Every structure is written in C-alpha cells, then in structure tokens.
Structure 1
Amino acid sequence: MTEDDLLVKLRQAIQEPHASIHRLNLSRIALCIPPQIHQPILYALGLSRYAEIFYGMEEVWVAVIGDPADWIDRATDDRIADSESPPSSSDSTERITSLLRLLYVPELLRTRALQADLSFLGAMDPNITRWFQTQNPGAEIREYLNHEVRGKPHLLVAWIWIIYSAILYGGYEIQAKLLKAGAEFWDLSEKELKSSRTPCPLSFWHIDGAATVKKKFRTLMVDANRLLTRSEQQEVIDESLRIFKKLERLTLSLDEEAKTALL
C-alpha cells in the first residue's frame, strides 16, 4: 500500500476518534457485568441499540448489490478483476454495485446473530423484552443509512470498514470481558460457554474463521480502492468521521437510558 491508498487514508483519519470510542465502549462493558450488575439487562439494552446499525447497513447493502444468491457463486478473483479498470463517472451505478459486491463477505454479516442473541436475552427476563419495545436511539442511524447513505451508496464503504473492523480487530477484547461474567449470568452451561463457537446470547461476537476473514476483508478493501474516484474517496473519509460522531452520541445516550433501566 502507498500513502494514496484509501485504507491508509482511512486509518490516518480515524485513528483518534477510533481510539476514543473504543475506550468509551470498553469502559461501559464493565458496567454491564458482575460485580456491577447481576442480570444482562444493560448489555441487552446496548446491544439492541447498536443492532440497528447492522440492520440498516446490511439491508441497504443488499438493496444495492441485489440478492447475493444471484452472483455470489462467482469467484473472488473474478470480482477483483471487475475492479481493475479505472473508475468512470459515466457508469457509476454499475461501478459502485461492483465495488459493494467485491466487499461482500457473508461471514461478516451480523443481522441473524443479533436477532438470535436479542431473542435469547428477551426470553431470559420480561424486563429485558420491555426495553426492546421502547424508542430506540439506534433507529435514527438506521434511518440515516436507509435514506442518506442509500442515496450515495459508495459511502457504505466507510460503514462497512469501520463497523466490521470494530468486531474483527477490537471485538475479541470485549468478548473476553463478557465471557468472564460466567455461564450463570448468561443462562448457559459451562460447556456452552467454553464452546469453540460462542453461543447465544453472545454469538454476535463470533465470526467463523475470523483470522482468515480478517485477512480477506483487508485485501478486498485494498482492491476496492480502484473502483472509487478521488472525490468519492474523500467523501468516504469524511463519512468515516461522521460515523464516529454518531457512535459517540449513541453510546452517551445509553448512559441516560441505563439510569432508567435500573430503576
């Protein structure tokens, strides 16, 4: 990679806000587990809010690229070949569709895992279910994705890189803290908790073949660079900074919701 590559520019642009939001969220994970609390209501609350980001991002993604069943059988090498021509403004729709198909890695998708985890958590305690039915601040981000980002789908590149990287590169630290809460806290057996495949209600944090997926994801991001014009690349970088502002506001709003949840 060179200094002109999008991935390099993205990393430079988000270095500070990324470190800040990671510290912010990590400090709150400690408040969601023993000895601070003895039921996963705060974890469920936060997960339900952040879930809206994944729901929105993944539904817009599929809306742009079409049903993956229609094209996913094409080899990754073939999709990379589509990215080797210089970007042209005259075929922007087709070009951006090719770009977002290139980045599509099924193992990264989180919607089903989130739905399963939230269903499991809701079954644990009626009080948890009640919070799923309240006004969800994360829905504002989902709406933004469905309206603003869908109208400029190349901006999804910023969301895809930042949101999935959070799991691939920082999620293991959060997952380790959550697992330390113990099997009883998560309504699991010791065998389930120690399974190589993290079960509900923590399956969100498990990605099959994470090391391989991480390497593949990074490689595809580098290849995707070719399908963006310089102005689009700058818009992706600008969007990345907006993302962290939205994430910070969402996390801080959880502080207020948490006070009410514990009453």
Structure 2
Amino acid sequence: MARGSVPQATLSSEINTATRSLHTELNKLITARVPFALPPLASDPKLYTTGLLHFAHIFLTFESLWNDLLPTNPPGAAASPPTSPLLSFLLVNPYAEPELFTSPPSPQTVAFLQRLRPKGLARSARIKKDLQYLSGLHPTDFDVMLAQYPGDKVADFCAHIRKSVGPKPHVLIAYAWCFYMAVFSGGRWIRGELGKAGPEFWSSGADAGTQDADAPLTEKGLSLWSFPGIHDGEDIKGEFKDRLLGAEALFTPDERVDVIEEAKTIFKLCAGLVHELDGALGTDLEQLKRMKAAPPHGNQMHGKPDKSEAVTSKESHQALRTWFQRPEVTSAAVALGCLACAGVLWLSY
C-alpha cells in the first residue's frame, strides 16, 4: 500500500522550484569557464580529464550505493561486475561514521529504487571508460588513481553522500534527478560543443594501442554524454520520468522533504567548491565580469587603443587565462561547468 498521499505538485516539479535560484547561481559561476578546457585555450584534453575525474567520484559514489540495493542477480539477467572500485563502504570507518550502519530501508523503498533506473541510465561505467581512454593510463594505474580522491572537497562531497543515503536511501532520487536529468537535457549540446575540438584533440593523451582506438567519440572519450539505442536517450529519459511518478504516492511528506533538501544541498556543495577556490586564490568575480565587459579596442576616437589600455587588457587577459589554467581551479571549474551547462535547460523539465 502507498505510504504517502498524492500531492498536487509532482516531486520533480517541487525539486525544480526549490533549486531554481541555486541552479541559476551555479550557472552564473561556472558556465563561462568551460571554454578554457577546449581549443584554442587548451591544446589537449588534460584539463577536461582532470575535471571529469572530480565529478566522476560523485557518480561513482551514489551509483555504487544504489547498486547495493539492487538484486545481486535479477531473474533472467546475467551477473554483472561492479561499476566502480569505490564500493559503498570501501573507505568507510564504521566507528567514524556509525550513522551509515543503520536499520535497513523499507521494502517499498528498496523495491521502488530497484526499478527506477532503466537500462542504460547509469553513467559510472561510461565515465570510467572515458577517463581511462583520455588519461592513457595502464588499467592498474587507472584503478590506483580512482581509489583515491583528487581533492578534499571531492572527499567531503562523497562522505556527505554516504551519510545522507545510509539512513535515508530515498534521497538517491535527488541525485538521479539532478545528475541524470542534467545529462539528458544538456548532454547533446555539451557533446556537440566538446566534439568541435575534433578527434585529434581528444586522442592526444590517449593510448593509441587501446582496443577502441578507432571507435567514435560517443563510445570513448565523450561517452558520458551519449546513450545506447537509436533514440539517443529520449526513450530512457521518458521511461525514467514515468517510473519516477511512482514516488508520488509512495513517499511520505517528510521523505519528500528529504529529497528536495538533498537536491538543494547538491547545488550548494557544487557552488561552495567554486567559492572556496575563488577565496583561496583571491579571485574577484566582479573583476572578472568587468574584464569580460571591457571594450576590446580601447580608445575608438583616435582609431587605435590607448597604450595603457592595451597593456591593461593584455595583462588582464593573461591573468584570467593563467588563473583558469591552474590545475586546482580548472579541475573543479570544468567539472562543475559541465554539470552547470547540462542544467541550462532544467526549466523545461
């Protein structure tokens, strides 16, 4: 039997309403940074790869926790290997995080989560494939890389996911909606923008001896933004949204609030990472805006730029470019930028 009453607004629309301002803020902070990982400002995919590694851990963590709720071997299905070496409790100290080891969720919640994700929706395997190709690492070295967090904020984010999902697995819906719908809605646009760099750019750091060296970018390098089948994910998206409607009568009002609040937290954690980088590096976002808004040709009255203006413009451009090319900035900026760009169309959900 349903444990909750059917509300007037759908859970997805409530998430969108509750996160609209946070989403707008994140877009303003991040979207302008994405081009710095692509030509002509980047000569290889190293910056994109570093950024991909950062938010890859978010996918790997919540999808690993989700996989723990799935049947080990569903009827009629062959056993599949884990999608991530970061299995839910691999790095967890039960004494440091006792809240993770709580009573099991209700059978209704488990059953709902087991059927919510259509085949082809999970992204971990594709992200790992992209990372391995772009990094050009040997499989052993690649596993070593994934077995450690690339930054403190990434570790904090993943720790938060475990602490939230452990006692309240229904908040996985927040991660599904925020991350999967972002890939659905903006994925084609992002894939198109990244693809403009050309196969040579994306293969510049890859191992030419890999088995899929001749495969298209949608199957390696940029497969995160692609879906199997002739409909390029539209069928998967529709099935996911249809299945999500089952939450309307299943979850209690308090559980719905849990999901909505977790979605808000996801945006705050992402934006907080950018603010932390800005603060640590003394970056003035208002100054960046002024630099972007500055006239490109200086003193138009005399037909040529003023010398002092030209020097200032050149120095400002170089400072801006250098700031974005710093690994600790770009790794976060590109990662969050991809997510933010993917969310540009969220209001059309």
Moved more, 13-22 or 219-228: 13-22
2:326 corresponds, among 248, 259, 263, to 259
Alpha-carbon distance, 1:153 to partner: 0.4
Q: Distance in 2 between matches of 1:4 and 1:227?
A: 14
1:99 and 1:109 mapped to 2: Cα distance? 16
Aligned to 1:225: 248
- Residue 238 of structure 2 corresponds to 215
Determine whether 1:182 maps to 2:198: yes
Q: Percent identity?
A: 27
1:27 aligns with 2:28: no
Contact 1:162 1:240 in 2 (8 A): yes
Task: Tell me how far 1:3 sits from its aligned partner.
Answer: 3.7
Q: How does 1:102-251 map to 2 (within 5 A)?
A: 102-123=115-136, 135-136=150-151, 137-187=153-203, 195=216, 198-208=218-228, 209-251=232-274
| 1:254 to 1:118, Cα distance in 2 relative to 1, 3 A | farther
Q: Of the candidates 89, 100, 105, which is equivalent to residue 113 of structure 2?
A: 100
1:155 maps to a residue whose letter is: V
**Richer in helix (by share):** 1
- Cα 1:149/1:168, change in 2 over 3 Å: same
> CA offset at residue 237 of structure 1?
0.8
Task: Give the letter aligned to residue 182 of structure 2.
Answer: A
Give the drift of 1:102. Answer: 2.6
Superposition deviation, residue 254 in structure 1? 6.9
The 3 A distance-change label for structure 1 pair 10 and 134 is closer
Q: Name the counterpart of 2:71.
A: 66
Which amino acid is the alignment partner of residue 232 of structure 1?
E
Q: CA deviation at 1:238?
A: 1.0
- The yes-or-no answer on 1:5 pairing with 2:20 is no
Relative to structure 1, the CA distance from residue 253 to residue 43 in structure 2 (aligned partners, 3 Å threshold; closer, same or farther) is farther
Which of the numbers 47, 63, 66 marks the counterpart of 2:52?
47
Check the 8 A contact 1:46/1:254 in 2, yes or no: no
Q: TM-score, normalised by structure 1?
A: 0.78
Mark the runs of 5 or more structure 2 residues left unpaired by the alignment.
Answer: 1-5, 78-103, 282-323, 331-349
Aligned length: 239
Give TM-score scaled by structure 2 length: 0.60
**Are the aligned partners of 2:54 and 2:150 in contact in 1 as well (CA < 8 Å)?**
no
Matched-pair contact (CA < 8 Å) for 1:103–1:224 = no
Cα drift, residue 14 of structure 1? 1.7
Using the alignment, how far apart are the partners of 1:14 and 1:134 within structure 2?
27
How far is 1:207 from its partner?
1.3
Deviations 1:5-49 (CA, angstroms, capped at 9, x unpaired): 212211211222223334544322211000111011110111000
What SS does the aligned partner of 1:106 have? coil
Distance 1:174 1:34, change over 3 A: same
Contact 2:11 2:248 in 1 (8 A): yes
Structure 1: tracts of 5 or more residues without a match: 74-90
Select which of 9, 13, 19 maps to 1:14.
19
Q: In the superposition, relative to structure 1, how do residues 122 and 253 fare at CA in structure 2: closer, same or farther (>3 Å)?
A: farther
How far did residue 215 of structure 1 move?
A: 1.0
